[in-house]
A = this chain, B = another copy of it.
Amino acid sequence: MRNLADEIERFILRKLAGETNDITILQRNELADELSCAPSQISYVLSTRFTAERGFIVQSRRGSGGFVRIVRVPVQKIVYNKPDNIMDYCSPEDFENIIIKLNSERMITAREAGLIKYFLDVIDDYVNPVEKMRIFRSLLITLENNS
């Protein structure tokens, strides 16, 4: 028998694959209607399949004009979950790219991105690259802790 959850997962993954920035937006009721299932089933799939653990971020808004935004986040895994795998240091360009990526995937706001860039720029005068990397990681954790 067909497995709805898997079908929904595949549908969303295909939709995501068709996007250029690993971001896709859908409407829960609409998708439920299209796949002939209960709307809450979409929520179920999102909460079991599209988890941070698997490298996704799901954001949504209720009410009129509501939506669900799904973001695939490869960077998140690197930065948050695999501290052992990450490089010991980054070039300024690497930092710039990570920050841009984090912002484009809505893990940080433009204001936070600006703050972090300014921050990294300032400490450049005082710390070595390895130390800077350590500080950067702490900084992201600080952000998480205040969410």
Q: Binary interface profile of A, 16-43, with partner B (CB < 8 Å = 1, else 0)?
A: 0000000000000000000000000000
A112-B115, A119-B119, A126-B126 known; A1+B145 contact, CB < 8 A:
no
* Residues B118 and A115 in contact, CB atoms below 8 Å apart: no
- Chain A residues within 8 Å of chain B by Cβ, number: 30
CB <8 Å contact, A114 and B146: yes
Interface of A is mostly: helix
Interface residue? A86 (CB, 8 A): no
Known A65-B3, A123-B122; judge A114-B135 contact (CB<8 A): no
> Assuming A110-B147, A112-B115, what are 16 further A-B pairs, CB within 8 angstroms?
A3-B64, A5-B65, A110-B146, A111-B143, A111-B146, A111-B147, A114-B143, A115-B116, A115-B146, A118-B138, A118-B139, A118-B142, A122-B123, A122-B135, A123-B123, A123-B126
